[in-house]
Amino acid sequence: MLKQIRAIISDMDGVLWRGMQPLPGLHDFFAYMLDNDIGFVLATNNSSKTRMDYVNKLAKLNVRGLQPSHIVTSGTATASFLGTKFPPGTRIFVVGGAGLKQILTKAGFMIVEDDADLVVCGIDIDLTYEKVRKATLLIRGGAGFIGTNPDSSFPSPEGLVPGAGSILALLEAASGQPPIVIGKPERGMFEAALRQLDADPQETLMIGDRIGTDIQGAQSLGIKTALVMTGVEDETSLAESATRPDFVFEGLPELVKALKSAD
């Protein structure tokens, strides 16, 4: 099946790096795609950064020549979704970082601290009780509730730490309202990636470290999947999962070796 692959969608956290620490095989992975004219998009549920932030981060890791069009984030996917549902100038209270606010502002929305039409929640490393209090009251008052992604945790150099999904769970418990979630495993992220690649799902490989988002979401669109064991999952969670990836690799070196062998 790897011989049929003409395009790649790859997660980032837990696949390419942990924090600022590149994972083994990072440079060989990009060299393989560039040398073999493989179209690729890097898709992340992290909404805290802009696409250019990721281009610059990869450059610092000595992966150069990437463009913003190589990146899809749950923030950009959320802005795209909101643009189909709400007019420019819609007032949004953001539980999230500067990157998410910048993305939404660029899309024509107004970031406010009160009287919001929508509450949009992503990962927020500066989360405070006051932000949660405001968001809860706004949702209870009728504001729409949008989550960029459902990841309850994400891998850091120290281990798994709370993700946007943990904040969504807190707000849902406090407000009594479930969010509309945009990021993986929902279709929006994968459809955006396929559009950017102009690729057929059957000729596309999704590489991820999380079964419940990366693998399940891609399989729902007929995309081939490869799980790497450098992030969230371990042998126990893989064995207990009813979802079976098409391929499982210890990390990028084993994946690149398999891709080269299939050529």
Annotated catalytic residue: which of 13, 151, 209, 214? 13
Here the tokens at position 175 are: 């407000």
* 11 carries an active-site annotation: yes
| C-alpha atoms less than 13 angstroms from C-alpha of 4 in its C-beta half-sphere | 11
Q: From residue 152, how far is each of 53, 100, 212 by CA, in Å?
A: 23, 18, 11
Per-residue CA distances from 180 to 118, 121, 172, 218 (Å) = 11, 10, 11, 19
Annotated catalytic residue 13:
yes
Assess contact for 81 and 57: CB atoms under 8 A: no
SS3 175: helix
| CA contacts within 13 A on the Cβ side of 12 | 24
- Choose the catalytic residue: 11, 151, 209, 214: 11
Residues annotated as part of the active site: 11, 13
